[in-house]
């Protein structure tokens, strides 16, 4: 393993040493939440074409959709029907490969948040075209818009993500936890970076280990013992001493998590063998051992790639949606199996929606798009927000088939953070642009 890769893997393992002082621990003894809550963020990297995941099925709206989408349109007869408890006059269906999501929606365990995207303040087509509004920079750029979703930075320069900021504000009441509040199965993420809190990175099989120290490696056990002996010695150089502390925490946390996972029940739920499926499986196992780690609050980050469907969309997207549906369905089943369905909420994010227009074989970078929220606490079988008109040049198209969002990611994050236990007074720390929008809470959860 190269030096940079080695450091990248180990710097995510700081959680145990990042715990707070005895004063904070004393505070936590009186305020530790009595119930467990967990958020699971799945990020679809590349920009998921959600206008082919959730599709209008009523004739008038479908005809507009089909005209806009051209060769990418899903056949009306193939759509899987869903019945929202808050109808808007149209009917909707899901992509034919989303049968698992359809079942979750129909049984009330899933909801759709319509036409969402990063904004600094509310935007309309006219205000966008007239240049009258503050907009996030580089709207249709992958890296910039991923950053907007993960940090909610708007026009600011920030070093933290909104998951990390949740960990920061909840630190006084979560300091008895033996593991970081934030855990990623997709490497170190900006979403989980905090000012005080440090996330923990986990592999799909458990803690990332030091390969050279494995018993199966030549002299691996001896190397590991010698390395630990070295770390226990006095080190004069301040930089070497800090790095040694990183490794000590890494080894200690890895052992803690490995020992805890050994106590996890064997899941009968079968997860897809895809990378996303295996990420959600280890997350389910980690949730199952929450008591061994004294966890009252957890945020997990998982990711899946391949959603930048500029070409080959009619072949690639059905496979992507099939995997999304299978993975989310399996995870929900696992939560029911371990008795945690009423304590865990899974939600999705993606760079942006994609253009309504076809480029001949796929779609280009858009703006607004739909997201999924799944779990027992969710007021499911509903579509939150406002469905756009999928018409080229229509009221919601700001050009090139890019749909202007009507729901802010700040409102989405604030809604999730509020359920998670963040005080109302701290919500603008989590979502800095929240006060610019008329809606602070989408009503995804019962009061």
**pLDDT per residue as tens digits for the range 410-436:** 999 999 999 999 999 999 999 999 999
The CA distance from 350 to 117, in Å, is 9
Q: Over 60: is that where the pLDDT of 24 sits?
A: no
What value does the mean pLDDT take over residues 224-239? Answer: 85
Q: Over 80: is that where the pLDDT of 220 sits?
A: no
The CA dihedral of 115, 120, 125, 126, to the nearest 10 degrees, is 160
Q: What is the pLDDT of residue 50?
A: 98
In 3D, which of 212, 189, 211, 210 has the Cα closest to residue 200?
A: 189
User: Nearest-5° angle of CA 361, CA 363, CA 367?
Assistant: 180
What value does the mean pLDDT take over residues 38-50? Answer: 98
Q: What is the pLDDT of residue 14?
A: 35
Q: Where are the alpha helices (DSSP H) in 291-354?
A: 313-337
**Can you list the domains of the chain with their CATH numbers?**
3-436 (3.40.720)
Predicted confidence band of residue 1 (pLDDT cuts 50, 70, 90): very low
User: Nearest-5° angle of CA 13, CA 15, CA 19?
Assistant: 155
Q: What is the pLDDT of residue 31?
A: 62
Q: For residue 240, give the 3-state DSSP assignment.
A: helix
Q: What is the pLDDT of residue 150?
A: 98
**How much of the chain, in percent, has pLDDT values that exceed 90?**
81
Q: Over 90: is that where the pLDDT of 229 sits?
A: no
Inter-residue contact 180 to 198 (CB < 8 Å): yes
Q: Over 80: is that where the pLDDT of 284 sits?
A: yes
pLDDT tens profile 354-403: 999 999 999 999 999 999 999 999 999 999 999 999 999 999 999 999 99
What value does the mean pLDDT take over residues 3-18? Answer: 36
pLDDT tens profile 185-209: 999 999 999 999 999 999 999 998 7
């Amino acid at each position: 393993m190269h030096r940079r890769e080695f450091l990248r893997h180990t710097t995510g393992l700081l959680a145990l040493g990042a715990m707070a002082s005895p004063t904070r621990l004393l505070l936590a003894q009186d305020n530790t939440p009595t119930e467990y809550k967990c958020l699971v963020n799945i990020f679809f990297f590349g920009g998921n074409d959600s206008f082919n995941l959730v599709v209008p099925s009523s004739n008038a709206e479908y005809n507009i959709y089909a005209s806009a989408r051209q060769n990418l349109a899903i056949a009306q007869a193939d759509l899987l029907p869903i019945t929202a408890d808050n109808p808007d006059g149209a009917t909707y269906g899901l992509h034919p490969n989303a049968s698992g999501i359809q079942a979750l929606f129909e049984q009330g365990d899933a909801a759709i948040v319509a036409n969402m995207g990063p904004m600094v303040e509310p935007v309309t087509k006219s205000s966008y075209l007239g240049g009258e509004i503050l907009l996030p920079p580089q709207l249709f750029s992958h890296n910039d818009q991923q950053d907007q979703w993960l940090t909610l930075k708007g026009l600011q320069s920030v070093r933290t993500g909104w998951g990390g900021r949740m960990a920061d504000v909840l630190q006084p009441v979560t300091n008895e936890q033996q593991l970081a509040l934030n855990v990623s199965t997709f490497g170190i993420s900006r979403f989980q970076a905090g000012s005080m809190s440090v996330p923990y990175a986990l592999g799909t099989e458990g803690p990332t280990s030091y390969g050279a120290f494995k018993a199966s490696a030549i002299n691996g056990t001896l190397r590991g013992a010698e390395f630990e002996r070295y770390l226990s010695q006095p080190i004069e150089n301040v930089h070497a001493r800090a790095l040694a502390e990183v490794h000590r925490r890494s080894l200690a946390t890895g052992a803690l998590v490995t020992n805890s996972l050994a106590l996890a029940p064997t899941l009968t739920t079968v997860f897809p063998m895809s990378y996303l499926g295996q990420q959600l499986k280890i997350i389910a196992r980690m949730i199952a051992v929450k008591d061994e780690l004294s966890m009252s609050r957890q945020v997990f980050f998982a990711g899946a790639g391949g959603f930048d469907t500029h070409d080959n969309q009619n072949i690639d997207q059905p496979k992507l949606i099939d995997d999304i549906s299978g993975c989310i369905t399996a995870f929900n089943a696992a939560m029911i199996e371990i008795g945690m369905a009423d304590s865990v909420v899974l939600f999705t994010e993606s760079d942006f929606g994609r253009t309504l227009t076809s480029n001949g074989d796929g779609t280009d970078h858009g703006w607004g798009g739909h997201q999924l929220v799944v779990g027992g606490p969710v007021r499911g079988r509903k579509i939150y927000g406002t469905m756009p008109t999928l018409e080229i040049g229509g009221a919601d198209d700001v050009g090139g088939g890019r749909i202007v969002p009507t729901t802010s990611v700040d409102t989405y994050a604030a809604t999730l953070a509020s359920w998670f236990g963040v005080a109302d007074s701290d919500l603008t720390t989590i979502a800095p642009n929240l006060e610019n929008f008329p809606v602070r809470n989408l009503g995804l959860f019962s009061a």
